Chains A and B, each alone.
Chain A
Amino acid sequence: MNVASMDKNSILVVIRCSPYGSSLAKSSVDVALAMAAFEQAVDVLFMGDGVLQLMPDQDSRSSGLRNMGKQLASLPLYDVSQIYVDEQAAGRYNLNMTEHSIKIELLSPSDMNQLMVKYDHLLGF
């Protein structure tokens, strides 16, 4: 694949799955990282149960699974320009997003609707 010849479409990766309940959570973050690694214009929205991926101080050692919190921390290193979070869901799980290590923007349901129509492609997980 010739990356230099790529066109660009703006892409929003929408992650709705909780971090350790299925392998899809890791796959969805892998997709976002791959998009960014190939210099695509990719943003990420954590929605519904997906906000649980942003739980602070995750410890996955006893499960044998990779720590999703650490994997997410690498998103800014790959230049994922914007990370959005479903404000209602974050409130439901009592997640404090103001002290998160990665920079995020909280969105209301109507904000999320307006966000989604801006992109060429939506990739939902």
Chain B
Amino acid sequence: MLARGHSIRRIFFLDTGAEISSSHRVLPQDETDPALAWQSLHAEHGIALEICISSALKYGMLDDAEAARHARSHATIQPAFTVAGLGQLVDACAHSDRLITFGG
């Protein structure tokens, strides 16, 4: 999409999709971690990777602020991801001419 000149407003991860942000996942050697592809999208193109905060908390995906707020010892998400409210999904729907959903 980017190569064809489209712009991507953000990637929003909801429900079990929040687990993609984990910094603690260890995959078998013959499997590719899909999180790495999302992270490169962020690193190379600056696209925000945002995790729904209620999903993130439910699945233990905490950034530094949430870990501190809920008295957990450390953050558990990769720094490429940020925790955000559902308003960010609403904003993306309101301002984008296309919406693509995966999974579900």
Contact = CB atoms under 8 A, between A and B. Distances in A.
A70 interface: no
A81 B17 CA distance: 28
A63 to B, nearest CB: 15
B47 interface: no
A7 to B, nearest CB: 5
A38 B87 contact: yes
A125 B103 CA distance: 8
Interface of B: 14-16, 52, 54-55, 58, 85-91, 93-97, 99, 101, 104
17 contacts: A1-B88, A1-B91, A9-B94, A9-B96, A23-B15, A24-B104, A27-B14, A27-B52, A34-B90, A35-B90, A35-B93, A38-B90, A120-B97, A121-B96, A123-B101, A124-B101, A124-B104
